Amino acid sequence: MPARYLSPAFSDQDVSALRIAMLVGVEAEIYNDIWSAVFGESLHPGVKLEEIALSEIYGVSRTVIRKVLVIMEQEGVVSLPHNRGAYVALPSPRDALELCEAVAATYTYIVGKLADQPQNITPAQREKLALHVAAEREVAELHTIRRLHMEHATLLALIYGNLVLAAQIERATSRLALALAAYQGVTGNVSSVEYTVALHRLIFEGRKEEAVQMISAGMERARKSMRFGPPDGSVNLKAILGKG
């Protein structure tokens, strides 16, 4: 299931404590494919996930599909309104603004704690951060950069060592990414790899106040970049997730 992460920093990372449920086999495949399609922006917020089509794509029962979708609902990625099917979650404008505030609060706390005691960041952990930076350097697409920024926040929380905060910020950044995909658009403001490099330098040098301010300013830019309007809810699932 860790295959859903893009950053090579997660290749040997135990993320079991972050998951609602660890899936294997076809269930993990379905989960990872939907996750990648959502955060690769092939499946946009508000799009309906037809369970019959998903069953045909993967050759499994709707019970299996439903199990995966329920897990993704608990993670905030899928919405399952009563008797109305399944949809990619669409945070409301209020949710979007509150997610900015929540992510900023959690992220600045984690970064502040790391900058308080940079000597506790091990060489192996610094290497993971360097691997992540290398991955950011290789991408140009907005949705991929957003996804790597999500993973970066989780990685910092794991390095800090608080698994509860790591799970919390992973879910909050995932939902925020959905909000940005819905309301920021394809030309949205996203920080470059130089932002990540500069943040690491501030943490390693113990410059807590500057590191925290950097995160706060970045989150404020994200908040101001959103423009609220109706989503497009139609899509061809077989074309996106089909194996043919």
Q: How far apart are CA 75 and CA 32, in angstroms?
A: 13
pLDDT band at 244 (very low <50, low <70, confident <90, very high): low
Per the prediction, the chain carries an average pLDDT of 90
Closest CA relative to residue 26, chosen from 51, 72, 50, 61: 61
Is the confidence at residue 11, as pLDDT, over 90? Answer: no
User: pLDDT tens digits for 48-103?
Assistant: 999 999 999 999 999 999 999 999 999 999 999 988 899 999 999 999 999 999 99
With beta carbons less than 8 A apart as the criterion, state whether 225 and 189 touch.
yes
User: pLDDT tens digits for 212-221?
Assistant: 999 999 999 9
Q: How far apart are CA 176 and CA 172, in angstroms?
A: 6
Q: Work out the average pLDDT over 27-37.
A: 93
3-state secondary structure 74-110: HCCCEECCCCCCEEECCCCHHHHHHHHHHHHHHHHHH
How far is CA 4 from its chain centroid?
10
Among the residue ranges 54-63, 171-180, 186-195, the one predicted with the least confidence is 186-195
Please report the pLDDT score of residue 1 as a whole number: 44
Q: Work out the average pLDDT over 171-198.
A: 82
Is the confidence at residue 151, as pLDDT, over 50? Answer: yes
Please report the pLDDT score of residue 234 as a whole number: 58
Longest dimension (CA), the chain: 54
- The two structure tokens encoding residue 100: 């900015």
Closest CA relative to residue 155, chosen from 177, 138, 131: 131
pLDDT band at 241 (very low <50, low <70, confident <90, very high): confident
Q: How far apart are CA 167 and CA 130, in angstroms?
A: 22
Report the percent of the chain where pLDDT is more than 90.
Answer: 70
Please report the pLDDT score of residue 230 as a whole number: 60
Report the percent of the chain where pLDDT is more than 70.
Answer: 91
With beta carbons less than 8 A apart as the criterion, state whether 103 and 215 touch.
no
Burial class (CB in 10 A: 0-12, 13-18, 19+), 211: buried
User: pLDDT tens digits for 126-150?
Assistant: 999 999 999 999 988 888 888 899 9
Give the N- to C-terminal CA distance of the chain in Å, as an integer. Answer: 23
